Amino acid sequence: MDSIRKRIFQNIEDTLDRESTFKTVVVGTFELYKVERPAAGIIPDEETTENQPDETYVEALRVSIRIVVDEDNQRAGEELDDAITAAHVALLDDPKRGGLAADTVKVGVKWLFLDEHYPRAGADLNLLITYATEEKNPTVSNLG
């Protein structure tokens, strides 16, 4: 059985795959700049754990959605903003990640590159996802 974390990543990937803005959605950054764009990469950043007295781990998972567009015209910044907005709306439409999470919130956007001399423009949409598992089994949700 897959961990709750992996199932959350799969939920994010499925959500972005359904969003017509993106031609490519991958987990991680491998080859992200070689794929068809606009592209979104799901990048795990950090997870902190709070141990509850009832053998529950409450997890706070930070995830970046790296969005990359081609910068082949003067409107790349606008296209990038449109893609960030589309991802934001799609991902926060179901903040509970199909029942796997307690909540998903946006914690910021970091623009990575937007330069007329660079062939791509990109930004990270940063999310914080809270979920809970059994202390001894990360495949079992312990919400509620």
pLDDT at 114: 60
For residue 20, what is the enclosing H or E element? none
pLDDT tens by residue, 66-97? 999 887 767 878 899 999 999 999 999 999 99
Q: Is the pLDDT of residue 6 over 80?
A: yes
pLDDT tens by residue, 81-138? 999 999 999 999 999 999 999 999 999 999 887 656 566 788 999 999 999 999 999 9
Q: Is the pLDDT of residue 25 over 80?
A: yes
Query: What is the pTM (predicted TM-score) of this model?
Result: 0.91
CA distance 127 to 23: 21
pLDDT at 33: 67
Q: What is the DSSP letter of 105?
A: E
